[in-house]
Amino acid sequence: MKIAVIGRGNVGGGLADLWERAGHELRRIGREGGDVSAAEAVVLAVPGGAIAEALDNVQGIEGKTVIDATNLWGVDRPPGFSSNAEYVKSRTNGPTAKSFNLNFASLYDRIGEASSTPSNLWTGDERARQVVEQLNRDAGYEPVYAGPLENAAAQESFLKLMFGISQGGLGQFLYRFAPPDRL
Ligand SMILES: NC(=O)c1ccc[n+]([C@@H]2O[C@H](COP(=O)([O-])OP(=O)(O)OC[C@H]3O[C@@H](n4cnc5c(N)ncnc54)[C@H](OP(=O)(O)O)[C@@H]3O)[C@@H](O)[C@H]2O)c1
């Protein structure tokens, strides 16, 4: 698949490496922007406050299947939208999915060490299903559908719970009974 990834950081760069290893053709786009008209899938992996600027700087994204991996860390939702993902769809008017926002990029290189395939949530449009599920599997995850794009707001909000879990409480419980080298 021809994939354009916007954002070359932990998430964008890391996922691009995984997909390249799986045989996909990657175009990596940074702040300078670029043309994504040849892409069959576009993945957005920029800071939550940079989405509008990042979209302004790409050409050919209208109607494309987009996977939004962004989070709302330290920034408000785009005015008038309940999620980043719905804002993205309003800009592209194509099939849109939210996925990869709830996996720690620092663990990408350890996906293969898991005793069973890790699950990964996605919400979004049916027309994005084939692309988002294939790209989940080709990154090493088992995709789990969590409802239509209206549910992307809940998926974005879940990040706070994930941090809560990983910083204490259940995180310590899990660590004691299932240390990372056994997960
Ligand atoms: N880190 C994680 O584990 C994780 C997991 C899931 C989701 N996320 C979310 O995924 C997104 C990316 O996180 P990250 O950890 O990959 O951040 P990061 O390492 O800081 O990378 C962000 C990338 O976006 C680029 N960028 C900034 N403004 C841009 C623009 N206007 N146009 C194009 N590219 C732009 C940055 O370019 P420069 O290098 O030039 O600054 C950088 O390469 C965030 O929304 C984050 O909340 C993070």
User: Per-residue pLDDT tens for 28-64?
Assistant: 999 999 999 999 999 999 999 999 999 999 999 999 9
Nearest to 105, CA basis, from 54, 45, 40, 145: 45
Kind and range of the H or E element at 16? helix 10-21
- In this prediction the pTM is 0.93
Ligand 1 centre and the CA of 158: distance in Å?
19
pLDDT reported for residue 166: 81
Q: Which atom of ligand 1 is nearest to the CA of 72?
A: 47
Ligand 1 centre and the CA of 50: distance in Å?
9
- Reported as a pLDDT band with limits 50, 70 and 90, residue 169 is low
Residues with CB under 6 A from ligand 1: 6-12, 30-31, 45-48, 50, 53-54, 57, 69-71, 73, 101, 103-105
What residues have CB less than 8 Å from 40, skipping those under 6 apart? 1, 2, 3, 65, 131
**DSSP-derived secondary structure letter, 76:** P
pLDDT reported for residue 171: 55
Ligand 1 centre and the CA of 28: distance in Å?
12
Q: Which long-range contacts (CB under 8 A, 24 or more apart) does 81-84 make?
A: 82/150, 82/152, 82/153, 83/149, 83/152, 83/153, 83/155, 83/156, 84/48, 84/51, 84/152, 84/156
Q: Which of 8, 31, 46 to mutate to test the pocket of ligand 1 (most atoms within 8 A of CB)?
A: 46
Tokens of 167: 């910083």
- Reported as a pLDDT band with limits 50, 70 and 90, residue 181 is very low
Residue 90 and residue 125: Cα distance in Å, rounded?
13
Ligand 1 centre and the CA of 59: distance in Å?
19
Q: Which of 6, 10, 44 to mutate to test the pocket of ligand 1 (most atoms within 8 A of CB)?
A: 10
- Reported as a pLDDT band with limits 50, 70 and 90, residue 164 is confident
pLDDT reported for residue 46: 98
pLDDT reported for residue 170: 58
CB 135 within 8 A of CB 3: yes
For the chain, the helix, strand and coil percentages under 3-state DSSP, each to the nearest 5: 45, 20, 35
**DSSP-derived secondary structure letter, 99:** E
Q: Which atom of ligand 1 is nearest to the CA of 104?
A: 3
